[in-house]
Amino acid sequence: MVQATIHFPRGFLWGTATSAHQVEGNNTNNDWYRWEQQEGRIINGHTSGLACDWWGGRWKEDFDRAAKAGQNAHRLSVEWSRIQPAPDRWDEDALDHYRMMLRGLRERGMTAMVTLHHFTNPIWLEEQGGWENEAVIPHFEKFTCIVVEALKEYTTLWCTLNEPNGYLAVSYALGLWPPGKKDIKLSFQVTTNQVRAHAAAYRAIHRIQPEARVGIAFHYRSMVPSHPAFPLDHWARGIQHRLLNETFPRALVDGILRFPFKRVKVPEAANTQDYFGLNYYTRVRVAFDLRVPGQLFGRQFFPAGADVSSKGYNANEPEGFFEAMKWGLQFKIPIIITENGIEDAEDTIRPRYIAQHIQQMWRGVNFNWQVKGYFHWTLVDNFEWERGWNHRFGLWELDEKTQIRRKRPSADLYAEICRENGLSTEMIQKYCPEVMQKMFPV
């Protein structure tokens, strides 16, 4: 039997990722709180409620769990509506709360990555038109300055926007998130404002903290044509890939937004990333289909026999992860895996998902790809947006009614990986022997 251990470079970041609205609880002053109160918006009528009760202090026990499990980093976000509850008011108590959390990470020997915008907007901003109104750009720049001044003692690693392409697709194409519009043309305006806001924030952070590393967390959706020999499948896959995967990040390289049938110059956005934050979950097949104009005539699906989660939302496609990292090399900056995970309440797929994806990441590192860290999504089950409490991504199970946490087997696997700074065949035999032959063929 093969026995081996694959190791990562010294100083590699191992952690988990979270977002404010999904874990803090009682976020009642943002657009998502309003959205949750509307009938039919969230599966089973769920609301975030207490979430994981981090605002009530349970971040301490969860950080303890992460540190004990060998994690040396954590990615979290700050909630704009707490820090700036009204256009003319800043809440120092909220800033103190975040200082305390970041101090808590430092005391546990963990590096903090702070995300400034993770999908939620203050109600006052939404009432001004949100990201559709170019006034959001100076608002976001000011917010960034306040946060960075307050927290710069505790971190140098910043993420301006989380998944701007995902936000645009779900909020402005599918209409499943606030503001619930189905207007692709309007999404181009929002994209332009987000690119300009990122650029303004990038420069503001470096003015305040020259040594900072600043980027975005970008959702890469791996896509392959359903029938490689069918030109229309290639066309459908190509247009979806360009619009979802290419438009935003390329603008941060050369300052040009390439929309269908037009280009918008945003020169201030050129060269405004110090690292590339990559979120990867799954890979899909794309088939040309006239019945789905809202999806640009490309129907996405998993093939028969795919290793799909019980909810059918993600499939275990580790080769797509390797492809995503290879695609990210075009930006010629270090890569940090800012999210990777699968919804799996029974924890039957997650162990092999983690092992196989980390093996693919190691392959990239051995090609001398500058991959510097990995943040698993997520530490504890949290409120998963329009899917409510129906999808469970946590290494730790959460009973949201009692706030009791229960460790899943994959938490132990990830802990062994973090402590070893690598993955061994012994771990695979222990937690997911079913993929041993596939990962280490004899």
Residue with tokens 């104009």: 293
Q: What CA–CA distance (Å, rounded) separates 43 from 343?
A: 15
In this prediction, residue 54 has a pLDDT band, given cuts at 50, 70 and 90, of very high
Q: What CA–CA distance (Å, rounded) separates 243 from 221?
A: 11
pLDDT attached to residue 296? 83
Architecture category of domain 5-439 in CATH: Alpha-Beta Barrel (3.20)
Contacting residues for 249 by C-beta, under 8 A, at least 6 apart: 216, 218, 273, 276, 331
Q: Provide the whole-model pTM.
A: 0.98
pLDDT attached to residue 154? 98
Residue 434: count other Cβ atoms within 10 Å of its Cβ: 9
Helix (H, G, I), strand (E, B) or coil at 219: strand
User: Average pLDDT for residues 179-186, to the nearest whole number?
Assistant: 93
Average predicted confidence (pLDDT) for the chain: 97
Dihedral sign for Cα 307, 383, 217, 424, please: negative
Q: What CA–CA distance (Å, rounded) separates 52 from 58?
A: 7
Q: What CA–CA distance (Å, rounded) separates 146 from 87?
A: 13
Closest CA to 196 of 274, 271, 268: 268
In this prediction, residue 88 has a pLDDT band, given cuts at 50, 70 and 90, of very high
270 contacts 286 by C-beta, under 8 angstroms: no
Q: Looking only at Cα atoms, what is the longest distance across the chain?
A: 66
User: Average pLDDT for residues 61-76, to the nearest whole number?
Assistant: 98
Q: What CA–CA distance (Å, rounded) separates 247 from 257?
A: 6
Domain-wise residue ranges, the chain: 5-439
pLDDT at 1 over 80: no
Tokens representing 91 are 């809440």
Which region, left, alpha or beta, applies to residue 73 given φ > 0 means left and ψ of -120 to 50 means alpha?
beta
**pLDDT tens digits, residue range 320-343?**
999 999 999 999 999 999 999 999
User: Average pLDDT for residues 386-406, to the nearest whole number?
Assistant: 98
pLDDT attached to residue 2? 80
**pLDDT tens digits, residue range 306-320?**
999 999 999 999 999
pLDDT attached to residue 184? 87
Q: What percent of the chain has pLDDT over 90?
A: 96
Q: What CA–CA distance (Å, rounded) separates 225 from 219?
A: 19
